[in-house]
Amino acid sequence: MKLPAYVQYVISKLEKCGYEAYCVGGCVRDYLLGQCPDDYDIATSALPEQIMQIFSSHKLLTIGIKHGTVTVILDGKPVEITAFRSESDYRDHRHPSAVGFSSNLEQDLVRRDFTINAMAYNTERGIIDMFGGKADLKAGIIRCVGNPEERFNEDGLRILRALRFASRYNFTLDRDTSDAVHRMSYLLDYISAERINAELCGILTGECYDILINYCDIIREIIPEIRPCIGFEQRSKYHDRTVYAHIAGAVAAAEPTLIYRLTMLLHDIGKPRCFFMRDGAGHFHGHAAVSRDMAQTILTRLRFPKKVISKVLFLIENHSIVMEDTERSIRRGLAKYGEENYFDLLKIHRFDNSSKAEAYRRLTLHFEGIEHSAREYLKHNAPLKMSDLEVKGGDLVKMGYKGEQIGRMLDLLLDSVLDGECKNDRQELLKRLEEINRSN
């Protein structure tokens, strides 16, 4: 590994003082995957107080010292230095009751979660791989270090971490690890909403289709409201999948941003509550509003930011609106929802249709056509609100209009432009104003 100078400085300084020091964990994994590591963690045989003494001339952060970690700030960059650790007695399936320090690198690595995260490196010994992490990286496998049940019993969050790494790198879980994930999903009850939030975001924004399908029991563990969707037949010409399978397909079809993926995960969650049969076909009238309300409960419980919740709820509530490739529909849509929201809704429609029955998947081209027409329309400084009109409120005041009349007449003029009854031209608008007055 070619280490940054500030990282090599930390390792060399520890070694000169007689201690072992290695880069460990994610930075080694990412390097072997051909990626540039974002940060570097150092493991050392030095104890925390010895680390502090060695780097006493530098700015130190000691918030993690009870876990053996001292953070050194070098060139404005934080480097976490942690004493070799051995842990025991995980009573809450999350945190060790006791943290001990060791002079043995193997003891430190054996307590880590997955083989791909249990490798170490320094320039003298090269990459140290005691558990087959390199082979698992090459094969695309997520495998626990040692016994999976023991690893998950130590920390239930590792269940979601396994799925996140599989989604991030498009890997699969080895059989023993996978079996333990299914068998021990109950441990997620011990995990805080904030931690579940972070891991769920990582799962959703990766290559997550196989994860959502093969580990639906884990998804329903953290989002119980999704349980009725699993295996729910839609009995509709629009769908050839169950509600949950459609959801998984729509999530996978969406651009890998949190807003879009969360929207697709929850956009149809209310369908089972709204289902009824008519003329031999299944219907879900009102499911968008029901899904919106359920999503609000779920996202609030999982501690998502208000801004994220607000955007996702808007997209869910409007994911079934009719969007047509006509000038009037486009003008009206842009004016009603605003440019950003309008194009977001077009995307949501595309993602949704991508997971429907084959005949309706072709409608994605229809929405691409609408987007092209809408962007062409906007190129010509098209009016979308009253302030865009060539006739202003001051013009109407001079013509004798007062108070609420002004806003009402401007609104009528904007409607006329949006409906294609006149152009946004001053003379045409004044002429249209006369026509409105005569008709009144």
The torsion defined by the Cα of 30, 36, 42 and 43, in degrees rounded to 10, comes to 20
What is the C-alpha to C-alpha distance for residues 236 and 216, in angstroms, rounded to an integer?
23
Percent residues over pLDDT 70 in the chain: 97
* φ, ψ (nearest 5 deg) of residue 280: 75, 10
pLDDT tens digit string along 6-21? 999 999 999 999 999 9
What is the C-alpha to C-alpha distance for residues 19 and 36, in angstroms, rounded to an integer?
27
pLDDT score, position 157:
96
Fold (CATH) for 5-136: Beta Polymerase; domain 2 (3.30.460)
- Residue 236 carries which DSSP code? -
- Residue-level length of the chain: 440
Q: How many helices and strands in the chain, by DSSP H and E?
A: 23, 13
β-pairing verdict for 77-83 and 41-44: parallel
Strands of 258-341, DSSP E: 276-278, 281-283
pLDDT tens digit string along 162-218? 999 999 999 999 999 999 999 999 999 999 999 999 999 999 999 999 999 999 999
Give residue for tokens 């995260």.
117
Count Cβ neighbours within 10 Å for each residue of 143-178 and write b for 16 or more, e otherwise.
bbbeebeebbebbbbbbbbbbbbbbebebbbbeebb
Which token pair is 277? Answer: 């049969």
For the chain, residues classed under CATH 3.30.460.10 are: 5-136
CB half-sphere exposure, 294, CA atoms < 13 A? 26
Per-residue pLDDT of the chain (440 residues; tens, 9 = 90+): 889 999 999 999 999 999 999 999 999 999 999 998 888 999 999 999 999 999 999 999 998 888 899 999 998 899 999 999 876 555 655 555 556 777 789 989 998 999 999 999 999 999 999 999 999 999 999 999 999 999 999 999 999 999 999 999 999 999 999 999 999 999 999 999 999 999 999 999 999 999 999 999 999 999 999 999 999 999 999 999 999 999 999 999 999 999 999 999 999 999 999 999 999 999 999 999 999 999 999 999 999 999 999 999 999 999 999 999 988 899 999 999 999 999 999 999 999 999 999 888 877 788 989 999 999 988 877 788 888 888 898 888 988 888 888 988 898 999 888 888 888 888 989 888 888 888 77
What is the C-alpha to C-alpha distance for residues 81 and 7, in angstroms, rounded to an integer?
10
